[in-house]
Amino acid sequence: MGFVSRGFRGKRRDNVSSSRVPPGQYVVADFPVLSAGPTPHVNIDQWTFSIEGEIDEPKRWTWKELSALPADTVTTDIHCVTKWSKLDTTWKGVSVDTLMEGVDTAADFTTVYSDGGYTTNLTLDDVTGNKAWVVYEFDGQPIEPQHGGPLRFFVPHLYFWKSAKWVRGIRLQKEEHPGFWESNGYHIRGDPWREQRYWGD
C-alpha cells in the first residue's frame, strides 16, 4: 500500500463520471481567470488575425472577415494545468482547418501568438483535423476580455494554457519553438491525460 495522507477523506463528486476528469484535476462550476500579466486593450478596428511563416502567401483577416467565416459550435470539457476542469463548456468560432484551407506548408510546428506578447507552441498535427479553433463566443456570449476576448485560441485536448487568449495569429514553423509557459517550466505538449504539466513529466 502506497502513501496515505492520514485522516484525508476528500470530496467525491459522485455525479461526475471519473473517466471525464484527467488525473490530478477537480471539477469547478465557475470559470477561473489566470494570466501572467494585465489584460490587453484591443482596438477591434485595427485588429487582424494572420497565418504566416512557412507559407507561400500569408493569410490575414479583419474582424469582419473572420466573423463571416463558417463557424462551429463546440461543447467540450476544458482542463487547466492549475488543476481545475470545467465540463460541458460551449464555444463558437472558426475551425483552424477552415483557416488553413488551401494552405500548403512544409511546417510541422506552429507558434500561436497573442496581443501582450504571449505565445504557445503546438504541432501542426495538434491544431488540425478538427482539434482547434479560434473562438469568439463562450456560452453564447462574446468572450470577456479577461477570458481572452475578442478572440482566443481553442485546443481543448491539451491543457488550457495552449488555448491562447487574445490570439492574433499562427506562425507556421519547421522547428519547434517553446512558447511562454513552455519556456518557464511547463511541458512542451501538455496532454492532461498523461498529466504532462511540467518539464520532464
Partner 1 sequence: MTSHGPLKWQFGTLAEVVQETPRVSSLHLDVPDWQGHLAGQHVDVRLTADDGYQAERSYSIASAPDDPRLALTVERLDDGEVSPYLVGELRVGDRLELRGPIGGFFVWRGDVDTPLLVIGGGSGVVPLMAMLRHRANIKSTVPARLLFSSRTQADIIYRDELSRLGAAGDGLTVFHTLTRERPAGWTGYTRRVDETMLKEVAWPKQDSPAVFICGPTPFVEAASQLLVGMGYEPRSIKTERFGATGGTA
User: Does residue 150 have a cis peptide bond before it, meaning omega lies within 30 degrees of 0?
Assistant: yes
Using alpha carbons, select from 47, 94, 80, 88 the residue that is nearest to residue 163: 80
Applying CB under 8 A, among 109, 113, 159, 180 the residue interacting with partner 1 is: 180
Site for partner 1 in 105-124 (CB under 8 A): 116-117
Applying CB under 8 A, among 16, 20, 33, 194 the residue interacting with partner 1 is: 33
**Looking at 33-41, 66-74, 93-101, 170-178, which segment touches partner 1 (CB under 8 A)?**
33-41
Cβ-based nearer residue to partner 1, 143 or 158: 143
Evaluate whether 112 touches 166 at the Cβ level (below 8 Å): no
136 burial type by CB count under 10 A (0-12 exposed, 13-18 middle, 19+ buried): buried
Question: In angstroms, rounded to a whole number, what is the distance separating the alpha carbons of residues 108 and 82?
Answer: 28
Applying CB under 8 A, among 65, 101, 177, 185 the residue interacting with partner 1 is: 185
Taking the complex as a whole, how short is the minimal distance between the CB of residue 24 and partner 1, in angstroms? 4
* 92 Cβ neighbours under 8 A, 6+ residues apart: 71, 72, 73, 74, 135, 136, 137, 140
Applying CB under 8 A, among 22, 39, 53, 191 the residue interacting with partner 1 is: 39
Question: In angstroms, rounded to a whole number, what is the distance separating the alpha carbons of residues 126 and 120?
Answer: 12
Cβ-based nearer residue to partner 1, 73 or 130: 73
* 97 Cβ neighbours under 8 A, 6+ residues apart: 128, 129, 130
**Looking at 56-64, 69-77, 105-113, 193-201, which segment touches partner 1 (CB under 8 A)?**
193-201
Cβ-based nearer residue to partner 1, 33 or 68: 33
Residue 30 Cα distances to 13, 72, 83, 148, angstroms: 15, 24, 14, 16
Cβ-based nearer residue to partner 1, 102 or 200: 200
Cβ-based nearer residue to partner 1, 159 or 181: 181
Please report, as ranges, the residues that interact with partner 1 according to CB under 8 A: 2-12, 23-24, 26, 28, 30-41, 82-83, 116-117, 138-139, 141, 143-144, 146-147, 180-181, 183-185, 197-201
